[in-house]
Amino acid sequence: MDTKLTLNVDKAVIEKAKEYAKSQKVSLSRLIESYLSSLIDRKSNDIEITPLVESLSGVIEIKENFDYKKDYSDFLGRKYK
């Protein structure tokens, strides 16, 4: 069942989206519906890890009690002394 939805979108974005939808031979409504469906259906576990990222896994060991905020603060203190 289709339901009407009102959105406020920048005019330039709407015009470009209309052009894109026309080039794809689909209505703007169908295009937006398809996009929203893809967001909803996407599962976080389905993220593909590229070989490069996988090769970097485990390169750096971080201590369990590592405080990145303190470390960064210390770094900035040394940098701007």
**72 falls in which pLDDT band (50, 70, 90)?**
very high
* Four-residue CA torsion sign, 44, 50, 54, 60: negative
| Predicted local distance difference test score (pLDDT) of residue 46 | 66
What local confidence, expressed as pLDDT, does residue 52 receive?
86
Q: How distant, in Å, are the alpha carbons of 4, 8, 22 from that of 14? A: 17, 10, 12
**pLDDT, tens only, 11-70:** 999 999 999 999 999 999 999 999 888 888 766 566 778 888 888 887 888 888 989 899
Band of residue 10 on the pLDDT scale cut at 50, 70, 90: very high
